Every structure is written in structure tokens, then in C-alpha cells.
Amino acid sequence: MSATEQITWGDTRLNWQDVVQVAKSGAVLQLSVGAWQRIHSAREIVGRIVSDKQIAYGINTGLGALCNITLEEDQLSQLSRNTLLSHACGVGPTLTNVQARAIICAAIANYSHGKSGVSPAVVQGLLALLNRGITPQIPSQGSVGYLTHMAHVGLTLIGIGCVSYRGEIVAAAQALAAEGLEPCPLGAKDGLSLVNGTPCMTGLSCLALEEASRLFAWADVTGAMSFEALRGQLDAFDAEILALKGSVNVQTVGERLRKLLAGSQIILASKGIRTQDALSLRSMPQIHGASRDQFDYAARQIETELNAATDNPLVLGTTEKWRVVSQANPHGQSVALAADALAIALAETGSVAERRLDRLINPLVSGLPAFLVAEPGVNSGMMIAQYVAASLCGENRQLAQPAVLDNYVTSGLQEDHLSMGTSAALKLLRLAENTVQILAIEYLLAAQALDFHGAENAGEGTQRAWALLRNEVASWTEDRWLAPEIEKAAALIRTQHLTV
């Protein structure tokens, strides 16, 4: 999609693909007339509260543990500015541009409900950051679920900090000026609304869903190639048998595997050579299917949050009859649990792939040359590639530990149970990238193993996958630098979709 095409949000339910599309494509995002009406109506309520000197948390009071301190009208703009300055204290490596854009997308979706009371100028400012290619530099660490990441976004709106702009890191004020934009004026509640809610964990989790969706599809492909190279027994994927499991996703994986292996002369010639295969081979429908079940759960939870109003307080009603309700919608428990569940599913996908690729290099079970090289001894072949996969699986086991169970007390006992949802999303993205590399190694090894069988004898789908890789990576006859070849395979997994 080109940057001149427009996408409109605000009238229909969003899905995770909508966030990914805008975050990655650079398409112009706009809000519907109805969304702007909701935003303006809520802002009018905030204006009425301030002018009438009514007391409402987050509008004319201090924040968090300072909620009982009442502020005068002339202090509210300064409060919003100070909120951003004090909360923008993240540390660690900077998020990627796509990750930062996904967070901003989720924030805009949150404000589009018209329940935050945030100034329309703030929402316009966030849209301008997306549409003009001004991307805040956001430190990745320091969030217990919310606050720090969006605070750094907020600083960009007022011309403080650094941004990525036209391929360079420049001062935010410089980028705004280059686009003819003024720093955003802040009023009552703007600072609090900017740092509150669950946009960070939700936007990042939408990106993770895209990664997981692609990886689960590729795991079937690389798994089928390994199954074929190890001369698996196709009865394990029998449609009638898999239907008895009662899982739609188990049946889906089974159908994909059968299509990938359709017409395989290798499988046909191997029928009956053993009564059953190792579990890493014959249980692919059950393992991969269960991972897809977790994906469906995670997508449902994350999309629910994407379509929710997650500010605190929320502004309800009309200027004549309003309510400002302090509650806990910014608590991201559902997203944290979803990200943790998906992390376990992805870790398992990588783990079973490592068991398959280990069998490929072991002549005791593969019937192939040791480490998949014609002259083992003088050549080490794929020996150490399996080490790398094992290392990544070990790291994935650490990353799959639930973040949501780590809990701390913040804000002087006021916030004494935290979701850690942003940590859950960030480690999920790291885990997904590790899984890309594990599947890339399986891809390389399975293709090499099929060479020994004669790839022309492979199934319809596995032969296409083999050919796709061989366009980038030649078969091994002797040792050569392996790391760049793994990266070529990983690039295919990141960018290509094999239709079966």
C-alpha cells in the first residue's frame, strides 16, 4: 500500500491486522467523522468540569498517590507537561520504528472512543507523527504495563527528545518544524491520557500476532520437509483419525501436511518401513494445532483490548450530565495473559522443530550421512547449526516464563498489582525472532536432507519449498560459511508465504 492511500478508523471494529498494516506500510491514517465527534464531546465535558471548578480525578487533581491534591486551572497545562517529563524515564535499547508506530496506532484507537476526554489536538498530533513519518525514539525498558513508553511519545508531541525522521535521528523539534508542525499545546488531562491505558502492550502484541501467524504456517512447511526426509509414515496424519481429536486446528494442520506431502515418491517408497515415527514427527498436527489454538485465544483477547477504552479516568455522559469514573481499565491483565500464552505456544513450536532437525543430522535415526554432508570428518556439515537451534530453544524457555506472574508495588501502595503486559509483549517478540532462526535452521537441514533423496521425488508442497530455498542457498558439498545461509533462510521465512 502506498503512503498516499488512506485508511479510516472509528466506525467499525478493528483487528490486529489493521494495526500491522498502518505500522508497517506508512499508509495515511485518518479518523471518521463519528470518531472526531466523540472526541470533541468528551473534551467539552473536561472543559465544563474545569470551568465549573468541579473536582474530578486526573482532570484537576494530582495523579496516583497524589490524587487528593486539588489544582487550580492555571496549573493544569503544567501538570500535563510535567506528567510527560516525569514519566518519560525509560531505559535500554530503542524500539524499532514499526514497534513505535504500532503503539501510536493503538493509542489512537483508544482515543477514538471519545471516553478519554483528551484534547483533539493531541489526537491530531499523534496522527501527524504517523502520517509525516516522525517516529519517537522510545526506550524499550521501564514499563510495568503502561506509562513510560507513551510518555516518550508524548514528549515528541511537545517537541522534546529525539525522533527517527527521513532515515536520521534528529531532535523532535527539528522534525516538527521541517513538517510545518507546532508543538502540541497541552491542557487538562492531556498528560495523563497520553501515559495511561494499554496501547503499548496492545500495539506490540498486534505485531507479535503477525509474527506468530507466519511462523505457525512455516512450521508446517519445515516440519513436512523433515518428516519427508526422515521417511515418515503418513498414517499419522489420517483425516479420520485427526477428526477424532475434536480440534479444528489439529485437523487444519493435518490437512496442510497432507497437501504439502501429496505426490511424494519418498513417502510412498517408505510406507511400512516402521510401525510408528518419533513423536516430534507423528504428533505435528497435535502440537502445531494446539499452538494455533493458543493463537486464536491470544488474537481474541488482544483485539478485545484494541477495541476498548482503557484510560483512567474515563469521561462519560454529556456536558449537562457527566460522570468521570476512576477505575482500572488501564490494567492489561488480559493482554499480558494472552502474550504469555502465545509465548509458550511459540516456544513449543520451536522446541519440536529442534527435535526434528536433530534427527536429520543423526545417522542413527536418519539413515542419511552424518550431519548431512557427503564427506563427514573433514567436513562438520550441519553439526553446529543444531547447537545454535538448541541454544535458541534454551533462551526461548526462559522467555516463555510468564511475565504476568512477576508483580511489584508502585506509586506508594496505590498501584499494588501490575500486569507487566508490555514486558510480556516485548519478550514475545524476542521469542518470535528466535523461532524464526530455529525454523530457518530446520529449513536448511531438511532441504539438504531432501537432496540426498532426490528433491524431484518430494511432495508437491515440499518440493516448492525446497526450490524456493535453493534459489537463495546452494546445496552443501563441503563446509562453507553457514551463518549467512541461515540468514537467507530466515529472510524467506520473514517475507514469503507458501500457499498449500
Q: How confident is the model over 19-74, as pLDDT tens digits?
A: 999 999 988 999 999 999 999 999 999 999 998 888 888 888 877 667 777 788 78
| 263 belongs to a structural domain | yes
- What's the structural domain count of the chain? 2
Same domain, 59 and 116: yes
Same domain, 371 and 422: yes
Name the domain boundary from 176, 196, 216.
Answer: 196
pLDDT tens readout for residues 150-180: 999 999 999 999 999 999 999 999 999 999 9
Output the pLDDT for position 58: 81
Same domain, 180 and 260: no
pLDDT tens readout for residues 235-278: 999 999 999 999 999 999 999 999 999 999 999 999 999 999 99
Give the separation between CA 451 and CA 75, rounded to whole angstroms.
73
Name the domain boundary from 149, 165, 196.
Answer: 196
User: Between the CA of residue 304 and those of 16, 35, 107, 433, what are the distances in Å?
Assistant: 10, 18, 14, 25
| 119 belongs to a structural domain | yes
Same domain, 130 and 55: yes
CB 292 within 8 A of CB 247: no
* Integer Rg of the chain from CA: 26
Q: Is 272 helix (H, G, I), strand (E, B) or coil?
A: coil
**Residue 162 is inside which H or E element, if any?**
strand 162-165
Give the separation between CA 467 and CA 455, rounded to whole angstroms.
9
Residue 1 pLDDT > 70 = no
Catalytic site positions: 57
Q: Domain containing 250 — which CATH number?
A: 1.20.200.10
pLDDT tens readout for residues 92-106: 999 999 999 999 999
Tell me the residue range of the domain where 59 lies: 6-196
Any residues with CB less than 8 A from the CB of 267 and at least 6 apart, and which? 228, 231, 232, 234, 261, 459
Name the domain boundary from 196, 223, 249.
Answer: 196
Output the pLDDT for position 265: 98
Residue 297 pLDDT > 90 = yes
Residue 2 pLDDT > 60 = no
SS3 string, 17-60, reads: HHHHHHHHHCCEEEECHHHHHHHHHHHHHHHHHHHCCCCCCCCC
Same domain, 245 and 297: yes
| 417 belongs to a structural domain | yes
Same domain, 297 and 349: yes
Output the pLDDT for position 65: 64
Same domain, 236 and 178: no
Residue 416 pLDDT > 70 = no
Same domain, 234 and 316: yes
Give the separation between CA 176 and CA 133, rounded to whole angstroms.
10
